[in-house]
Amino acid sequence: MEILITNDDGIYAEGIYALASAMRKVGNVTVVAPDTQRSAVGHAITITDPLRVVEAKRNGKFFGYAASGTPADCVKLGIKAIMKKRPDLVVSGVNLGGNQAYNILYSGTVSGATEGALLGIPSMAVSLDTFVKPDFAPSAAFAAKLAVQMMKRRVPAGTLINVNVPHLPAKRIKGVRVTNQSRTCFNDWFDKRKDPHGNTYYWMTGDYKPEDPDKASDLNALLDGYISVTPIQFDLTDYKFVPELENWGLKFR
């Protein structure tokens, strides 16, 4: 199996190294990842600038291709310019920080897998729900296991699998839950500050109270010590609301 790997923390991040190492046990790996950290880029693509690609080493050996773009750019580049064969699987991660709930809208990690899914390739995003002292090994091991399942079974075209792993030692992870995206939101606000020259600036900050009445959500799986596995698709139409909106009888003139 040909596997294309990307991330949004950059090609020199710890998470992508763990992921590539685990994936090499189940297939041929090509890494194409941003040359620097590109978190919270959403599903950005680079159309106004040229993209450069250089070979990147880790531990003295060729590791992959570092591109001057976003995760979505990297997946497009991997498939359409770098890999000789179309990949069978796209995997993005392992991200430092969870991508549950509406976080997936802001997530560069998910956007890498989104690009794969939109191109009709089975795709997965993998995130570890912590920002401190990460151990990426359990996430990477589970991703490799899921990759094998994804090759054996059918994932609908255009759907990706979004995996979040709780920050627990492997032996304390309770298992795997198929979940839906939580509908809880961040609570964010701005710190208003003065720079040394007396000019005002704003810095975004916030907190996140992880309380969700939806027992089947990705958020609650993580809180309960389970890996969350959520299938994600990109037809955003609110079909339930379509009939009501039709009843508005909108007219141009």
Window 12 to 51, contacts with its own copies (CB under 8 A): 39-48, 50-51
Q: Are strands 28-34 and 61-67 parallel, antiparallel or unpaired?
A: parallel
Tell me the residue type at 27.
G
Q: To the nearest 10°, report the CA torsion of 76, 77, 83, 84.
A: 90
Tell the smallest beta-carbon distance from residue 59 to its own copies (Å). 26
227 binds its own copies (CB under 8 A): yes
Tokens 């991997």 found at: 78
The site that binds its own copies (CB under 8 A) totals a number of residues, namely 83
Of residues 50 and 60, the one with the C-beta less far from its own copies: 50
Residues of span 201-220 touching its own copies by CB under 8 A:
201-204
Span from 4-12, 83-91, 126-134, 232-240 in contact with its own copies (CB under 8 A): 232-240
Cα 159 from Cα 140, distance rounded (Å): 21
Q: At 108, list the tokens.
A: 């560069």
* Smallest gap from residue 157 Cβ to its own copies (A): 10
Between 133 and 236, name the residue whose CB sits nearer to its own copies. Answer: 236
Query: What residues from 117 to 176 belong to the interface with its own copies (CB under 8 A)?
Result: 118-119, 138, 142, 146, 149, 153-156, 158-159, 161, 170, 173-176
Q: Which one, 16 or 165, has the nearer CB to its own copies?
A: 165
105: Cα within 13 Å, side-chain hemisphere: 9
Nearer to its own copies, 60 or 195 (CB): 195
| Angstrom distance (rounded) from CA 129 to CA 165 | 6
227 vs 22, 94, 162, 168, CA distance in Å?
17, 13, 10, 10
Minimum Å gap between C-beta 25 and its own copies is 16
Residue at token pair 């309380």: 211
Rounded Cα distance, 65 and 79, in Å:
12
CB of 163 to its own copies, least distance (A): 10
Residue closer to its own copies by CB (options 62, 234) is 234
Report the residue from 55, 133, 200, 211 that binds its own copies according to the rule CB under 8 A: 200
Give the shortest CB-170-to-its own copies separation in angstroms. Answer: 8
Measured distance CA(233)–CA(158) in Å, rounded = 6
Distance between alpha carbon 167 and the CA centroid of its chain, in Å?
Answer: 17
Site residues (CB under 8 A) for its own copies, limited to 53-82: 53, 72-73, 76-77, 80-81
Q: Which helix (H) or strand (E) holds 245?
A: helix 242-247
- Name the 3-class secondary structure at 149: helix
Residue in 83, 106, 135, 208 binding its own copies, rule: CB under 8 A = 106
**Smallest distance, Å, CB 60 to its own copies?**
24
